[in-house]
Structure 1
Amino acid sequence: MTNTNAQVTGHHHAPRMLLHEIAPEVGKAMLSLERAARKGLETSLIELVKIRASQLNRCAFCLDMHTKDARKLGESEERIYLLNAWHEAPGLYTEKEQAALALTEAVTLLPGGVSDEVYERAAKHFPQQELAQLIAMITTINAWNRIGVTTGLGPGAYAV
């Protein structure tokens, strides 16, 4: 018997729901928040943040989407593959990207809050307005991840 992806992952069913169809106002509000959060942030940084949060939240749909988007924007395979271990590969990411990734992890996991050290590291690389946008972007991808995981969205359907 051959193992299919569905058999290996357990995701062999259709999504539990398509939230944007069931609650279109919520979908529209999320898209508005997404557009607002993006302003002033580099597109490549946005995708790194989205991929890292999606890794932490185990959102297969969002990982599929944002790795495809990052590739389309010219992101290297090496940086995408090693993002899960960015701490061990600091030479691949700028100090600014590392600060954003550290903040992404702190906001996503909230183990004991966001430490002053992590916040100040990000504030060193991002002017206040850009830092506000980054926090909003991290919050937005976390909300998308929670929608995707809860509603059972799986990878593969998204096309750039």
Structure 2
Amino acid sequence: MTTTHEHTDAYAPEHTPRLGWAEHAPDVYKAMSGLEIASKKGLDPVLVELVKIRASQLNHCAFCLDMHTKDALAAGETIERIVQLSAWEESRHFYTEKEAAAIALTEAVTVLTDGFVPDEVFDNAAEHFEEKELARLIAAIVTINAWNRFAVTTRMVPGHYKPGMFT
């Protein structure tokens, strides 16, 4: 038996954006975009998308999940690894040690209220990334968390993003 789920406008009322923040604060959007570009220089684009997806899962950011799963697929990521990402610790065999270190660091930075970034998480990431890479990775994690907060707060609507739309 096959079940299909069609998107309908019946969901539109609870998914109406509160505010077009980028339109009303274009200088902030431009600064965020500059940070986005700078943060991922020299990092593997697929790894960056995994980081963005994991942070967006933790932050419950549907808009960013829509965007970054599509960007990950466009960058060559597999559906299987994207699906397993929310349970990556139980399905570690899908990810390299370097990716697992980046995902663990993403979780620690994203959920600071769980006790800051533990030394073992940071040290593990430092074993897999050169210092310049690690600095960019931390910047990429901080940046996606900021994007998540803009999107969640203003209720940006998922489902309309196409890869390359904002480049």
TM bin, normalised by shorter chain, reads: over 0.9
1: CA distance, partners of 2:162 / 2:152: 19
**Stretches of structure 2 lacking an aligned partner (at least 5 in a row):** 1-5
Q: 1:11 to 1:139 in 2, by over 3 A?
A: farther
Q: 1:11 to 1:40 in 2, by over 3 A?
A: farther
Indicate conservation of the 8 Å contact 1:11/1:154, yes or no. no
- Partner AA of 2:143 in structure 1: T
For 2:3, the equivalent position in structure 1 comes to none
TM-score, scaled to structure 1: 0.93
Indicate conservation of the 8 Å contact 1:52/1:101, yes or no. yes
- Partner AA of 2:94 in structure 1: L
Residue 159 of structure 2 corresponds to residue 142 of structure 1: no
Indicate conservation of the 8 Å contact 1:59/1:148, yes or no. yes
For 1:105, the equivalent position in structure 2 comes to 107
The correspondence for 1:117, drawn from 100, 107, 120, is 120
Alignment coverage as a number of residue pairs? 158
2: CA distance, partners of 1:120 / 1:6: 47
Residue 69 of structure 2 corresponds to residue 81 of structure 1: no
For 1:65, the equivalent position in structure 2 comes to 67
RMSD: 1.8
1: CA distance, partners of 2:124 / 2:9: 41
For 1:54, the equivalent position in structure 2 comes to 56
| CA deviation after TM superposition for structure 1 residue 14, in Å | 2.1
TM-score, scaled to structure 2: 0.90
**Stretches of structure 1 lacking an aligned partner (at least 5 in a row):** none
Q: Percent identity?
A: 59
Indicate conservation of the 8 Å contact 1:54/1:62, yes or no. yes
Deviations 1:50-77 (A, max 9, x none): 0000000000000000000011111111
Indicate conservation of the 8 Å contact 1:51/1:63, yes or no. yes
| CA deviation after TM superposition for structure 1 residue 7, in Å | 5.8
